[in-house]
Structure 1
């Protein structure tokens, strides 16, 4: 993994080259955690001005100096330089093709493969790259106008942000990297604050900072001196399989084959590899497949747990993970997260967010990543499985809603009022199930698109902006695609990248491997749910001796934050409510937070997610605009 930094000075820019290089170095320093092993900076002519390019490197594949970045190679009259953040899983295949073209390699890194591929095949090769990446590529060819290509992988696993200021055009792997340049105006994007309070994250391509944008997954930007920037996509459209193309046995065989290939590809590393193991279907299936097909390279397993008394608010993952590790003969490291451990570092970790994501998994992922990074430099994660294979409770609930929409509309007032009787805010048996039923009743609407949008929203404000009824769109397919394009990318993958990179840990997601994810994307949503949530993965896990794990209830990567609020252990997090000068007061009246706190403490409702969102937001706002 790496951290990318780039600045283009336009004509008339006030900064001299030395000042421009100093700004780049500030960006590099701010992103050093992304690439602690080496770094480099270069400058190039850009019309009558200058371009400076930097890279911080975490050595995973190719650990010699020949693989350092920015990397330079030539092909005929073409000269190319590349700063690359990511991993390419089909680099051996492309490398062999390039050798046949006449390329001579001086390293074993995938960066060199990508650089030669761009020199020879141009941006058309982006479609062939199976991996996670963000890249900045500069090419000069004799007297031709040089160009700059920026690109991001199709699933959005690696971030890339950019901004155009009065005299400068900048790009970086992190928002804080851009701000560290001293050339970017720092101004809160209040519109995105509202989106966060509804849906937990900023709405791409915008960010929490005005005039700073996130490059969309599967997109590229092409820049030339004196020309307007061009943006395009290299991702072909997806055509769903028809019903007569889908035999259950054939689908299971195909997914198993693609899963094995994906896991073997993701094990490629010159550094030790680990696995985040929850004892749920996704991670346990990965472990079972690795035990069978790559026992010689079985990864170390890492799991989070909480104290038994917090089980109804937290998770029992550690018990199931220990069972799975024992069954499949893997080494297992368990990190216990109690209130003192988590809350003593809550503010520190909240301040580490590049921009707010309202998800307690940020805290738990940071702590687990820090723990794992002491032993490995690469870790496999099950992220993406729920979105691809329809694994969330909201997916099955929405399918049932659509199947009984007429009946539900008739009883809508009764369902909405009846939810208030459910004891979701108390520590009682079945609390999580009561909470799901209560949320289902609250978020029902006569508009199916609005209903699913409500399923994904927080309860801080009234339900989010009206979801449009899309003409001709199948509501269930629309819902699954929405989760894949929004929640997966802007919450889970953003969180995984930043939490891992805080500690120099590369997080890989085998379920998002190119051939596997492309195949699953062609399976209709109704087919994915016909046998229940994630029936394909559960069937495969049963084949590998893991039936017991398919029967456990889905829990997620949660912390017992709601219990800690009721026990008074988080009171220090709400002191900002009494600070008249706190910057969040201008944006969100304190009374809203106080009302949620009171209801939660009294057990009238479970506002764990909402209070986590507000606590993280208050810390981030105070740090960046206090």
Structure 2
């Protein structure tokens, strides 16, 4: 929805610095941008993408009538009407119909005390001039990014790492420590970025800071579990319908990224059931010879054929990737080695002609155990000793790639086993503790694994690429499966319930009950480029990728983890099954080259 920028005690001229930050994030809010001087020491700026209340009165920074409070934020507040009613009862009046004004007055009245009652996706900066305090925070779902830089008593906050870099006297150098997590996970560690000194505000955390840059309080909160929860199909469908209606509620056109898979198909089907109103849908298609395996268009048409003129198929070829590559890399705030990133970016580029909001099925796999690694982990948990022994017996034997990855990742420690399953390669013994630090300990084995995927992979890969790709074209991305109350509900599952519903049984049953069994039972292949086929069949595309990786090795290779170096030095020697690793390295190579 917007871009956030805040400076506390600037290193140089505050006006010049905040303007640079505002301009660097202007794509996030193409409808309006402005900045304010609060004091000589505090500057704030916002970029607005108009979604609710399209009037100028809802522009940001948004001030209270008495000019004693100001807000810049990014996201959507889905329970704003309930909060608005509570504020009306307290005597407040409103001049807009926006969630922004509700957000502003809620924080003005309660400060940080009732942040937990804000349900939505958001990151924000709020300034209380009476108290001379600033609250900066990010909600627990982590859908919207927030970065910061802190040096002595100077603070900079921005929706993007490059926003911060634009305001520094000396631009941050590349953070070489992040080559390690990037190689295995495709992204930085959750509290870091690829710029030295630029960190991420973790989801569900925040700070209270005074105007002199003193940290007064650390904030932390999460989705609370619901009491007396007995999950069932009817309750799931009721909660998801509610989430759909909240997420689809805007005053700007909405579209759906329709992959033809279970998650996005169910969202669109529920919308049609509730409203009867079709909306623009967007699906990626590859060459016809690949559509037997990559059959998204075929399955998407099962939902959209009755609505002529609403559905769009976006053909993606190696040539199209190469033509758009430099423009894409120019918009990439942080490297994330997932080919879904460029696909979402190309889709959003087409969609921006018709919509300002794009709905995706992100989060469903992490909430309801939909990835192949979840089912593999369940097998392991049922008979860990058997598979540990089988790993030893079959060592050195030629095995199918999927079975080889499964057995090689097995360890006597369930935590390490799932971290291996989640990584592009098994984590070396000497580096394992750095990844384990992000693994939860609060639940049982299977729930810990799901929680790890939600907080490590989902937020730092799936949601980050969705935000980056959509915001590059001035579009807001939304994910109904990450509705605040739906997450609360799933967090209340027992270990037995989480296992019973694994494989997204609730989602698939909902589709089957609506006559969409073929979509429900479709084999999962993931959302990404047909890299294995393109590398094998297209020498021009393959050589283009390899040459970028080799060039990167010449400049950066000596800083890479040992396991990474052979692949970057001679990518042409990689096995056919390492196509994900190759693409991961290619994204990094292109991004680093662009930053030089």
Same fold (TM over 0.5): yes
Report Cα offsets for 1:52-109 as digits up to 9, x if no partner: 100011111111110111010146xx81100111111111121122222222211121
Partner of 2:183: 197
Deviates more, 1:535-544 or 1:59-68: 535-544
Q: Is the 8 A contact 1:89 1:130 kept in 2?
A: yes
Counterpart pick for 2:319 among 340, 360, 380: 340
Distance 1:488-1:330 versus aligned 2 partners, 3 A rule = farther
Partner of 2:310: 331
Partner of 1:428: none
Normalising by structure 2, report the TM-score.
0.93
Mapped partners of 2:553, 2:393: distance in 1? 43
Could you tell me how far 1:580 is from its partner in structure 2? Answer: 8.5
Q: Is the 8 A contact 1:390 1:525 kept in 2?
A: no
Partner of 1:444: 410
Partner of 1:95: 84
Matching of residue 583 in structure 1 with residue 561 in structure 2: no
Distance 1:492-1:277 versus aligned 2 partners, 3 A rule = same
Mapped partners of 1:184, 1:205: distance in 2? 22
Segments of structure 2 that go 5 or more residues without pairing to the other structure are: none
Could you tell me how far 1:459 is from its partner in structure 2? Answer: 3.0
Report Cα offsets for 1:233-261 as digits up to 9, x if no partner: 132554797xxx53xxx621111111111
Matching of residue 307 in structure 1 with residue 273 in structure 2: no
Q: Is the 8 A contact 2:441 2:448 kept in 1?
A: no
Report Cα offsets for 1:96-148 as digits up to 9, x if no partner: 2222222221112111110011111222231111111111100122xxx4000
* 1:39-78 map, 5 Å: 39-45=33-39, 49-74=40-65
Distance 1:421-1:411 versus aligned 2 partners, 3 A rule = closer
Counterpart pick for 1:459 among 425, 436, 445: 425
Mapped partners of 1:503, 1:511: distance in 2? 23
Distance 1:619-1:404 versus aligned 2 partners, 3 A rule = same
Normalising by structure 1, report the TM-score.
0.89
Matching of residue 260 in structure 1 with residue 235 in structure 2: no
Mapped partners of 1:73, 1:80: distance in 2? 5
Partner of 1:597: 572
Mapped partners of 2:395, 2:572: distance in 1? 22
Distance 1:71-1:379 versus aligned 2 partners, 3 A rule = same
* 1:424-443 map, 5 Å: 435-443=401-409
Could you tell me how far 1:439 is from its partner in structure 2? Answer: 2.2
Mapped partners of 1:106, 1:457: distance in 2? 50
Partner of 1:276: 257
Counterpart pick for 2:218 among 224, 231, 243: 231
Report Cα offsets for 1:299-337 as digits up to 9, x if no partner: 21110111133347x621111111122268882111011
Q: Please give the secondary structure, in 2, of the residue aligned with 1:191.
A: helix
Could you tell me how far 1:570 is from its partner in structure 2? Answer: 2.6
Counterpart pick for 2:516 among 543, 546, 568: 546
Q: Is the 8 A contact 2:137 2:206 kept in 1?
A: yes
Report Cα offsets for 1:262-290 as digits up to 9, x if no partner: 11111211111111111111111111111
Counterpart pick for 1:528 among 493, 498, 502: 498
Mapped partners of 1:525, 1:315: distance in 2? 34
Q: Please give the secondary structure, in 2, of the residue aligned with 1:345.
A: helix
Mapped partners of 1:328, 1:446: distance in 2? 53
Partner of 2:129: 140
Q: Is the 8 A contact 2:185 2:424 kept in 1?
A: yes
Q: Please give the secondary structure, in 2, of the residue aligned with 1:270.
A: coil
RMSD: 2.3
Matching of residue 9 in structure 1 with residue 12 in structure 2: no
Counterpart pick for 2:68 among 59, 74, 79: 79
Mapped partners of 2:128, 2:69: distance in 1? 4
Deviates more, 1:544-553 or 1:521-530: 521-530
Mapped partners of 2:237, 2:307: distance in 1? 18
Q: Is the 8 A contact 2:552 2:568 kept in 1?
A: no
Q: Please give the secondary structure, in 1, of the residue aligned with 2:195.
A: coil
Could you tell me how far 1:30 is from its partner in structure 2? Answer: 0.9
Mapped partners of 1:309, 1:346: distance in 2? 24
Counterpart pick for 1:176 among 162, 168, 177: 162
Distance 1:416-1:364 versus aligned 2 partners, 3 A rule = farther
Matching of residue 219 in structure 1 with residue 213 in structure 2: no
Mapped partners of 2:574, 2:476: distance in 1? 40
Q: Please give the secondary structure, in 2, of the residue aligned with 1:607.
A: helix
Deviates more, 1:258-267 or 1:350-359: 350-359
- Count of matched residue pairs: 586
Could you tell me how far 1:190 is from its partner in structure 2? Answer: 1.6
Distance 1:581-1:220 versus aligned 2 partners, 3 A rule = closer
Partner of 1:429: none
Mapped partners of 2:501, 2:215: distance in 1? 50
Counterpart pick for 1:37 among 13, 31, 55: 31
Segments of structure 1 that go 5 or more residues without pairing to the other structure are: 423-434
Mapped partners of 1:402, 1:517: distance in 2? 24
Deviates more, 1:468-477 or 1:315-324: 468-477
Mapped partners of 1:518, 1:69: distance in 2? 31
Mapped partners of 1:67, 1:619: distance in 2? 38
